[in-house]
Amino acid sequence: MKEQLQQLLIVSLEALLAEGVIAEIPTQIRLDHTKDKTHGDYATNIALILAKQAKCAPKVLAEKIIAKIGDSSLVNKTEIAGPGFINFFLSEASNSAVVTDILASAEDYGLSNVGEGKRVLLEFVSANPTGPLHVGHGRSAAYGATVANLMRAVGFAVDNEYYVNDAGRQMDILTVSIFLRYLEVFGEDLRFPDNGYQGEYIKDIAKSVVAEHGERWRKNADELFEDICKDEAEGGDKEAHIDAIIKRSKRLLGEGYQAVFRVGINSILGGIKDDLAEFGVDYQQWFSEQSLIDDGLAKSTTETLQETGHIYEKDGALWFKTTDYGDEKDRVVVRENGIHTYFASDIAYHLEKFDRGYDKVINIWGADHHGYIARVKASIAALNHDPEKLEILLVQFANLYRGGKKVQMSTRSGSFVTLEELRNEVGNDAARFFYVLRKSEQHMDFDLDLAKSKTNENPVFYIQYAHARICSVFRQAGEKGVTVNSSDADLSLLIEGSEKALLKELNRYKSVIESSALQYEPHQLAYYLRELATNFHSYYNACPFLVDDDALTQARLALIKACKQVLVNGLSLLGVGAPESM
């Protein structure tokens, strides 16, 4: 519809161009759905834009444009309004045609190919496998999964990927934390390090180690802690303390160290995978950081940077000169102790991503990582790739509110609300919807009470209720013996104000999908669905659907059937269910 109108405009502008009235035709002609129905169905500001170069008043130019458009079966009426907007009033037939389109395409309605099959790598969540996902990760998960759905809907070939940080010191700390809890199971008396992972889940994993390996790796705590330097709370250095325990544990355990680590990583990563799967968040790839080291890619990437002169040595460490590419300061890639930093493997990871031949690489990060963008882009440029191909989307934190009060959370003490707890408390549908209801770069307050409420005003249920109501109408129709025959419905009978409003809303769906997808803004779709539901509920209250006049009944049923289809399609992109009864 919009495309056809745009075409009419272009033809008109080309004629004016030939006459020399205007100098050129803009590449983009804005044609908007109007907010106010007195402004017609679509409006364009083209005359305002071109007025200056045409050297005439916007209103005069608008008249010339309209004159060249002439008659079309699409348009009932055009008018010039305000400073020079051109408003289009569509004919009834062109407005109701959307119902036929929707019913014909069914679950495929809204799909398009603006993405032209371009391959996109979308990396999101990628939380360290040191514990369960918490509510902050939940927002990234819901956002990423929805962006992926939207991009697929408009024709991109998207791969979802989770980068697993299964290498490095954090993994050692995890292993040792489990090992110490394991020893405690056997009654070993020890002091748990300040810097260890304090959460209860570590104790559960320790029990799994017992279940799997029995007493095989039991060691004497006194032997383990003998001559170990003091921990922070005892006046020492917590980092040195836990490093010493790591070293000692490796020596005492030998191959057992790997065994404990395996149980830990499998348990935690398995938990994360289950959690995300239950949340409706699917991944095509789980990319292991350790694999970059095992394949030698981390090392060879650093060597490449060294050969090309991007790396220098200072204070015994290797520094990457990221300032050459606009970073604030240079960054260490290999530490004085010979161990590479997280950044080093991240460079290799991004190089590997580019080598896989994607047209677009997108990372979704927590907003606290924004300072990291410059150095990653620098490394891409230094390795002769185009940093513009990497897009980084930032997701702000979510604060939880319960009973009007902020829920305090701290990762350190292990007192955080997990994603699983949130899902169990409010349900997957409400969680998915609430997470994407806010623009991702906005801080968001997640009201647990509102998300849970099934009796109060809750946007998720409001939309689902619209769907359930439609389903109920069709059940009633069946009971009354009405044979639904939507393909033959006479849509010209839809002339009530609430019907026109609903038709207009349905006409918006395609552009909402496209806009949400291209701008990575799922909230646009969430808002749209609520507005669509509002239009339906108004219609429901204004007009009975099952009336004595069969032709009118068929027309109205066709309309709400189309509405139901769009609700289902939209909710499904958000990962939210559409229950048939509530």
Partner RNA sequence: GCGCCCAUAGCUCAGCUGGAUAGAGCAACGGCCUUCUAAGCCGUAGGUCAUACGUUCGAAUCGUAUUGGGCGCACCA
Binding segment (CB under 7 A) for RNA, from list 69-77, 251-259, 295-303, 472-480:
472-480
Closest approach of Cβ 169 to RNA, in Å? 5
User: Scanning residues 374 to 403, which ones bind RNA (CB under 7 A)?
Assistant: 396-397
Radius of gyration of the CA atoms of the chain, in A? 30
User: Scanning residues 15 to 34, which ones bind RNA (CB under 7 A)?
Assistant: 30, 32-34
The smaller minimum CB distance to RNA, of residues 209 and 430, is found at 430
CA distance 178 to 260: 7
Q: Quick check: helix, strand or coil at residue 384?
A: coil
Among 284, 476, 485, 487, binds RNA (CB under 7 A): 476
Q: Are 354 and 387 in contact (CB under 8 A)?
A: no
- Counting residues that bind RNA (by CB under 7 A) gives 92
If binding is defined by CB under 7 A, does position 496 make contact with RNA? no
Lay out the site mask for RNA across 323-362 (x = CB under 7 A, - = otherwise): -----xx-xx--xxx-x-xxx-------------------
If binding is defined by CB under 7 A, does position 471 make contact with RNA? yes
User: Scanning residues 526 to 545, which ones bind RNA (CB under 7 A)?
Assistant: 527, 530-531, 534, 537-538, 540-545
Among 45, 140, 301, 302, binds RNA (CB under 7 A): 45
If binding is defined by CB under 7 A, does position 413 make contact with RNA? no
Q: Exposure string (b/e) for 15-32, b if CB count within 10 Å is 16 or more?
A: bbeeeebbeeeeeebebe
Among 215, 456, 483, 548, binds RNA (CB under 7 A): 456
At 194, the amino acid letter reads D
Closest approach of Cβ 540 to RNA, in Å? 5
Closest approach of Cβ 513 to RNA, in Å? 12
User: Scanning residues 183 to 242, which ones bind RNA (CB under 7 A)?
Assistant: none
Residue with tokens 């364009």: 44
Select from 152, 11, 151, 63 the least CA-distant residue to 519: 151
Alpha helices in 58-199 (DSSP H): 58-69, 92-105, 135-153, 169-185
**What are phi and psi for residue 366, nearest 5 degrees?**
-65, 145
User: Scanning residues 239 to 258, which ones bind RNA (CB under 7 A)?
Assistant: none
Lay out the site mask for RNA across 86-125 (x = CB under 7 A, - = otherwise): -x--------------------------------------
SS (H, E, C) 447-483: EHHHHHCCCCCCHHHHHHHHHHHHHHHHHHHHHCCCC
If binding is defined by CB under 7 A, does position 48 make contact with RNA? yes
Closest approach of Cβ 315 to RNA, in Å? 3
If binding is defined by CB under 7 A, does position 128 make contact with RNA? yes
At 73, the amino acid letter reads S
DSSP letter for each residue of 338-381: SPBPHHHHHHHHHHHHHHTT-SEEEEEEEGGGGGGHHHHHHHHH
